[in-house]
């Protein structure tokens, strides 16, 4: 509603108050217009910030306008205090050894009467600690004994067997280096630097010979694992490229690590989860035929390549009379086959696996 000149008050103080009120209203309207323009023409991030700010302001206005409920029956002093949430730092494993340290007060005399105080309780806390690995020299002494009354033979205990004959490493050290290399991906070069940091200078070739000796000892266990896995009905095989140093060639040579795996837990089968790796110079059919010699069962592999080429390779293998069945499942809702094929190749006692890569 517009004001007419005759409606204005004649008092200068009232006029000044009216002008100030109009100025405040104009400022609020200008702010609303700027906000609406930002919502319409501003960036998306700016719109979100404006909406959040307005929502916070609206919540504050509602909070300020709301009256706190009257609660005269229960004063503040009698309200239950909220318990402080305890931090969950996790439970330390029970199998770890516990080393106790008791911290006594500086004085156990009563500060009031100087009498001897008695222990009434205790507080305990646990923290995870680590003892740094340290090297030691295991010195073996074999005394020699001889008889002074006669010229009998000298008696001496035999020397204990070592993993590396005449070497300076114990079995525990070689096992530690092998576990660090193959389980925790710590290369021999890095381990030589760690040993050098502790004052023990060992050449990397020495560590490599230790690994060769350890591999020779566990070869029987490795062969037994492969034989056991090949005795199950189902087996999965896949290869991974592995660059190998080739001195004099100018570049690395690409070899393959074949993984033979079994796992029948999904359908309560007899095969436990296990995997064994076979190093090979290539990924051709000769490699897989040699590795699966004597295997009778179902082989699951990943055949990658073009459908036509993959089919041609499998057809040529079938012409050899070695592959009995080959199933290529695909999604029932899709009419297009992807580049990754899952092939199950069955064998009997007279046939063996004979497939190769399409590349």
349 has a pLDDT exceeding 70: no
Q: What does the alpha-carbon distance between residue 299 and residue 345 come to, in Å, rounded to a whole number?
A: 5
Q: If pLDDT is split at 50, 70 and 90, which confidence band does 50 have?
A: low
CA proximity to 177, closest of 221, 210, 199, 136:
210
**What does the pLDDT read at residue 222?**
92
DSSP one-letter code for 116: B
Q: Which pLDDT score, from 0 to 100, does residue 322 have?
A: 36
Task: Tell me the CA distances in angstroms from 61 to 35, 54, 55, 65, 333, one per residue in order.
Answer: 18, 10, 10, 6, 56
Q: pLDDT tens, 306-330? A: 444 434 333 333 323 333 333 333 3
Structural domain spans, the chain: 169-217, 219-346
Task: Write out 72-98 in H/E/C secondary structure.
Answer: CCCCHHHCCCCCCCCCCCCCCCCCCCC
Q: Per mean pLDDT, which range of 10-19, 72-81, 241-250, 294-303 is the poorest?
A: 72-81
Percent of the residues in the chain that have a pLDDT greater than 90, as a whole number: 35
Which two three-digit tokens encode residue 314? 């499998």
> In degrees to the nearest 10, what's the CA dihedral of 203, 205, 210, 211?
130
State yes or no: pLDDT of 342 exceeds 50: no
Q: Please write the tens of the pLDDT for every residue from 130-185.
A: 988 889 999 999 999 999 998 889 999 999 988 888 889 999 999 999 999 999 99
In sign, the C-alpha dihedral spanning 326, 328, 332, 335 is negative
> Does residue 53 or residue 330 have the better pLDDT?
53
Percent of the chain with pLDDT over 70: 71
In this prediction, residue 298 carries a pLDDT of 87
pLDDT in tens, 283-307: 888 888 888 888 888 888 876 544 4
Q: What is the pTM of this model?
A: 0.54
In whole angstroms, what separates CA 38 from the centre of its chain? 46
pLDDT of residue 82: 74
Please provide the DSSP assignment of 15-29 as one string: HHHHHHHHHHHHHHH
Q: Is 285 helix (H, G, I), strand (E, B) or coil?
A: helix
- Sign of the CA dihedral with 203 first, then 208, 214, and 217 last: negative
Phi-psi domain of 268 (left: phi exceeds 0; alpha: psi -120 through 50; beta: other) = left
Q: Tell whether the model's pLDDT for residue 267 goes beyond 90.
A: no
| pLDDT tens digits along 88-132 | 666 888 999 999 999 999 999 998 888 999 999 999 989 999 988
| 8 A C-beta contact, residue 307 and residue 286 | no
| Contact predicate 10/16, CB 8 Å | no
Cα-Cα-Cα-Cα dihedral of 194, 196, 202, 208, to 10°?
20
């Amino acid at each position: 509603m517009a004001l007419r000149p005759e409606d204005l008050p004649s008092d200068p103080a009232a006029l000044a108050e009216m002008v100030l009120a109009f100025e405040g209203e104009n400022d609020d309207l200008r702010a609303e217009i700027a906000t609406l323009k930002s919502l319409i023409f501003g960036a998306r991030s700016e719109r979100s910030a404006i909406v959040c700010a307005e929502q916070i302001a609206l919540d504050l206005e509602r909070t300020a306008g709301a009256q706190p409920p009257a609660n005269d029956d229960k004063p503040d002093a009698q309200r239950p205090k909220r318990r402080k949430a305890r931090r969950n730092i996790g439970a330390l494993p029970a199998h770890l050894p516990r080393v106790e340290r008791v911290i006594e007060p500086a004085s156990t005399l009563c500060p009031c009467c100087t009498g001897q105080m008695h222990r009434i309780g205790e507080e305990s806390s646990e923290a995870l600690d680590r003892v740094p690995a340290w090297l030691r020299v295991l010195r073996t002494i074999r005394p020699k004994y001889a008889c002074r009354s006669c010229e009998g033979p000298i008696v001496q205990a035999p020397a204990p067997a070592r993993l590396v004959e005449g070497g300076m490493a114990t079995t525990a050290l070689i096992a530690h280096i092998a576990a660090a290399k193959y389980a925790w991906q710590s290369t021999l070069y890095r381990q030589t630097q760690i040993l050098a940091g502790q004052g023990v200078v060992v050449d990397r070739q020495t560590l490599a010979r230790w690994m060769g000796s350890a591999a020779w000892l566990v070869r029987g266990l490795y062969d037994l694992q492969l034989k056991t896995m090949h005795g199950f009905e189902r087996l999965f095989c896949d290869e991974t490229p592995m660059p190998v140093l080739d001195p004099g060639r100018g570049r690395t040579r690409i070899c393959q690590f074949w993984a033979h795996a079994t796992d029948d837990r999904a359908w309560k089968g007899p095969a436990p989860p296990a995997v064994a790796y076979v190093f090979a110079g290539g990924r051709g059919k000769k490699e897989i035929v040699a590795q699966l010699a004597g295997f009778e069962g179902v082989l699951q592999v990943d055949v990658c390549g073009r459908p036509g080429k993959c089919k041609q390779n499998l057809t040529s293998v079938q012409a050899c009379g070695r592959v009995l069945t080959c199933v290529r499942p695909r999604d029932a809702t899709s009419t297009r086959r992807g580049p990754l094929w899952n092939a199950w190749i069955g064998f009997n006692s007279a046939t063996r696996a004979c497939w190769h890569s399409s590349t």
